[in-house]
Amino acid sequence: MSSGISIFSWNCQGCANEKFPRSFREYIREHKPNIVSLLEPRVSGRKADEVIAKIGLQYSHRVEARGFSGRIWLSWNSSLNLEILINHPQFILTRVSYGVPTQTILIIFVYRSPNRTKRTFLWEALEESLQPTSPGWQLVILTPSCLNMKRKEDHLKGNVALFWEASLIITIYTI
């Protein structure tokens, strides 16, 4: 029987406060997510590296902002294998393998731009990226909650198994 994974995705809108890493590490100790996605951390460059290192998960990856908004940070622990498949300004497509026996799932971490034009390009890029690689594939998309389900379904043409809103801890079980 496969164990699940826990994902925490948060549109934090800023991580520069010196108290953030300590408070966030405490949250991680309490809830033990395997993957953390921070959207709009509003920190970049060397300062971002310092904050990510203090969070306390073994691995990390980030997409830097273009302009004044954006950025996606991912951090994860060694209980799973996370591979970055696509690194886009508004999303990161990953392949995650976990559990015994090993289960594999595709997870997309999405930054929803406040700019309507950029959101249109986001859905077009997602649609191009989401070509099933084998029968029975599974996909989880974590997005900010302000996108409505109908819009997501229209753009992804029914290829997506599950949707969840950001700012929640999500436990995924492959069935």
Cα–Cα distance for residue pair 36/6, rounded to 1 Å: 9
- How many domains would you assign to the chain? 1
| Confidence at residue 13, expressed as pLDDT on a 0 to 100 scale | 72
Confidence of residue 77 (pLDDT cuts 50, 70, 90): very high
| Confidence at residue 34, expressed as pLDDT on a 0 to 100 scale | 92
Q: If we measure between CA atoms, which residue out of 34, 36, 37 comes closest to residue 79?
A: 34
Q: Range of 46's domain? A: 5-172
What is the tens place of the pLDDT at every residue in 100-150? Answer: 888 888 888 887 777 777 777 877 787 777 765 555 555 665 655 443 434
| Confidence at residue 3, expressed as pLDDT on a 0 to 100 scale | 66
Answer whether residue 166 shows pLDDT above 70.
no
Compute how many other C-beta atoms are within 10 angstroms of the C-beta atom of residue 35. 26
The model's pTM is: 0.74
Q: If we measure between CA atoms, which residue out of 96, 108, 92 comes closest to residue 161?
A: 108
CATH (domain of 31): 3.60.10.10
Answer whether residue 163 shows pLDDT above 50.
no
| Confidence at residue 11, expressed as pLDDT on a 0 to 100 scale | 77
Confidence of residue 78 (pLDDT cuts 50, 70, 90): very high
